[in-house]
Amino acid sequence: QVQLVESGGGLVQAGGSLRLSCATSGHTFSGYVLGWFRQASGKEREFVAAINWSGGVTYYSDSVKGRFTISRDNAKSTVYLQMNSLKPEDTAAYYCAADVGPHPINVVVVGASEYDYWGQGTQVTVSS
């Protein structure tokens, strides 16, 4: 059983930054494809960013490209989401997810239904 635990959410003013972390356990972390999703109140969960198992390939939604950075530390079994230039529309619960694969080295996963495990979420609120 894979467990994912997010942290780092909070309240920040527009233009500010936050760094989310997602610690994982229970499987061979280095083989996972990892992703971040978010869900605003009353809206569907949406893709934010994904990273392949080696960390060399990343993919972002258009709404966060250039502002957010996904990274991973396989030695610490942790994935990060650095969020800069935050906007009120970034307000949402943020979830990390793991797809245990196996996948070829350069694959990232965008579809939520393809992920096998999810964290409990961490709230990010951006005030204007």
pLDDT tens figures, 48-91: 999 998 888 999 999 999 999 999 998 999 999 999 999 999 99
Q: Given CA atoms 72, 98, 12, 68 in this order, what sign does their dihedral have?
A: positive
- Per-residue pLDDT, 54: 86
- Per-residue pLDDT, 104: 85
Spatial contact of 99 and 111, defined as CB atoms under 8 Å apart: no
- Residue with tokens 């990273």, as numbered in its chain: 51
